[in-house]
Amino acid sequence: MSVDLARAQEVALEAAEAAGRAALAHFRALQQQDVTRKADRSILTVADQQAEEAMVRMLARAFPDHAILGEEGGERGGGQGAAGAGWRWILDPIDGTRAFSRGGELWGPLVALVDPAGEVVVGAAALPALGMIWAAARGEGCLRDGQRLAIAAGEGLDWSDATLSLGSLPRLLTSPHRAAVLELAASCAYAYAGCDLFGCLLVVEGVADAWIEDGVKAWDLAALKVIVEEAGGCFTDLEGQPRFDAGGALAGAPAAHAHCLARLRACGGRDG
């Protein structure tokens, strides 16, 4: 059964806004008992849990037959009835929990809807502390705060004048793609690093030409994929495949994406 993507985008925006409100209630007000560590030693706060619950409640009301995968709550119901078979929401309540827990502003929820074929068809991302929100639906373009965004193709790219956005440096510098990342960072004009979801959104905003991340999960990437693509950019895994669940991502304006992918392939996964 098909889903009205305009309606799904509207609900995704509402879910991101609800998560933002839940998180802001704890922003710069966390107590020691509000912060714990997961088994992988990553940070978990009460705000993460409450933000995800706020999203789940809203999505379950709007699409009761859809499955939901959340970073904190795992898989939840739905997806079995004829109306919702194969449709799945993927949620990250706070991408950038470390920044959130320390009072930084570059954090926010990510909401994605994946169709039965495994394609991300709706996505929303927000930076609640800055009052900014992005959304996209397949075939309908990308909006930030209601304004349509378009990434320039970047033809005639001069990489020595390019800006590169990088995810977590500890992850990238211990990944098999270390050599390519170092080469790309050393040969561009400027590089950002460690901005979580905002690192990718810099590409959508035209501030960065490309973004590279590795060692992350599907909920960190799914929403960003459709947002980048609907803005006119390219989004693949680090092998150049159109995936969001392979642990790594390369996003960029078409010319910048092609340049970075060529260097990743040329280095062949050598870690330097």
Whole-number percent of the chain with pLDDT over 90: 86
Question: Residue 270: what pLDDT?
Answer: 53
Per-residue pLDDT reduced to its tens digit, 91-101: 999 999 999 99
The verdict on domain 159-267 having CATH code 3.40.190.80 is yes
Question: Residue 16: what pLDDT?
Answer: 98
Task: Please give the order of strands across the beta sheet that includes 88-95.
Answer: 74-76, 67-70, 88-95, 108-114, 120-127, 132-137, 142-144, 147-149
Strand pairing partners for 37?
43
Question: Residue 205: what pLDDT?
Answer: 97
Question: Residue 135: what pLDDT?
Answer: 98
Q: Determine the Cα–Cα distance for residues 145 and 259; give it in Å rounded to an integer.
A: 30
Question: Residue 263: what pLDDT?
Answer: 97
Question: Residue 1: what pLDDT?
Answer: 67
- Give yes or no for residue 272 having a pLDDT over 60: no
CATH for 5-149 is: 3.30.540.10
- Give yes or no for residue 83 having a pLDDT over 70: no
Per-residue pLDDT reduced to its tens digit, 110-152: 999 999 999 999 999 999 999 999 999 999 999 999 999 999 8
Please state the domain extents for the chain: 5-149, 159-267
Is beta strand 190-193 parallel, antiparallel or unpaired with respect to 163-166? Answer: parallel
pLDDT (mean) for 222-234: 98
